[in-house]
Amino acid sequence: REMPITDDTEETSFQKKAVGYVDIRHNKYRSHSSKVRSIMKEWCEQNNFDAAIWWDGPSNFEEKKGAKFTLKEAVKHLYSLKGDTRENALEYIRNSPIDSGSGIKSLVMKSFG
């Protein structure tokens, strides 16, 4: 979805805490991880995108699932999803430009194709 952002557009506290972005044209960025920021910047440049945004907030996996996030628990969770919910989750992971360091994208590709 496109929406105009100007210099006087005010960011919400949610955006500041949970939304990462790179803006190639204006050399602006925000991320809790310099590694993810660098990877996303490079991905934008390689694919001729001006910008990218992503979820950059803390994980709520343990709170929601009652288990510490591990690759095994993540795959177990994906197998527990049904129908469109699972397909949407898998599509999101497959379409992500990077494996952000967790290894989940590689494992999903091996486990689910």
pLDDT digits (tens, 9 = 90+) for 44-67: 999 999 999 988 888 889 999 999
Task: Based on the fold, state whether residues 18 and 30 are members of the same structural domain.
Answer: yes
Vertex 53, ends 80 and 77: CA angle to 5°? 10
| Counted domains in the chain | 2
| Same domain flag for 39 and 67 | no
Q: Are both 34 and 54 inside the same structural domain?
A: yes
Q: What is the CA radius of gyration of the chain?
A: 16
Question: Where in the sequence is the domain holding 113, given as residue range(s)?
Answer: 59-113
The confidence band for 108, taking pLDDT boundaries of 50, 70 and 90, is: confident
Let me know: does 35 contact 57? Beta carbons within 8 Å: no
Q: Mind listing the pLDDT tens digit for each residue in 20-42?
A: 999 999 999 999 888 889 989 99
Q: What is the model's pLDDT at position 67?
A: 95
Q: How many residues does this entry show for the chain?
A: 113
